[in-house]
Amino acid sequence: MTSEDYQNGQVLLIDKPLNWTSFQAVNKIKYALINKVGLPKKFKIGHAGTLDPLASGLLLICTGKFTKIISELQGQAKEYTGTFYIGATTPSYDLETEINENFPISHIDDKLILETVKQFLGEIDQKPPIYSAIKKDGVRLYEHARAGEDVKIESRKTTIHEFEITRIALPEIDFRVVCSKGTYIRSLAFDFGKALNSGAHLTALRRTKIGDYSVENAVEPEAFIEGLLQSPSL
């Protein structure tokens, strides 16, 4: 693809590796396009929806004129797969922080798990995790959290279109979920644990789809850059 193709607009399907920030992935690709394809230093590039460092999977990176459709892409339904750990909670609802409380799980069986799923289908009220980038009084929630401050977080409406349990091997449960924009899977893990009269946190998360775009057609940043190196010079 030529420099002009990227400036006219492309949606790049990137499989973000674990422990990378979304910003790192965009930057890596941005500088490769500048250095290998000859794009101007100030060309437009951005992603359509952040993935936490502890999550892997589909990141849509828009270039040139297609940066205008970022908000439209962000509004599409998203599919995730992952793992809940039942019987313990963490302040961040995932592995970013240490376990702060343990709960019994001896009362939990397959039937209870599958019944509990039904409570989360459709429109639900959800509170974002305190360890999140949402702003309260102009400050990101995770900054309040790290300063040890108590913050009242308002719940928000979100929609769970599909919620399927794909493996039960307590204390672990694997799942697949299709949800609306703004859904926190970490909060879903926390709330799911509570609904089981126990506790839970998220130990693995992968974004597999955004609208009609699938991670099956995505490449890791390094592979994308390698592909640029192999293209004939433009």
Give the β-pairing of 56-63 and 200-210.
Answer: parallel
- Which pair of tokens denotes residue 168? 């039960």
- Which pair of tokens denotes residue 86? 């039942």
Contacts of 211 (CB under 8 A, 6+ apart): 73, 76, 77
Cα dihedral value 75, 81, 86, 90, nearest 10: -50
Contacts of 2 (CB under 8 A, 6+ apart): 37, 234
User: Cα(131)–Cα(97) distance, rounded to whole angstroms?
Assistant: 9
Q: Kindly report whether the peptide bond that precedes residue 104 is cis, defined as omega within 30 degrees of 0.
A: no
Q: Which of 15, 52, 94, 191 is catalytic?
A: 52
Residue with tokens 């592979």, as numbered in its chain: 223
52 is catalytic: yes
Catalytic residues: 52
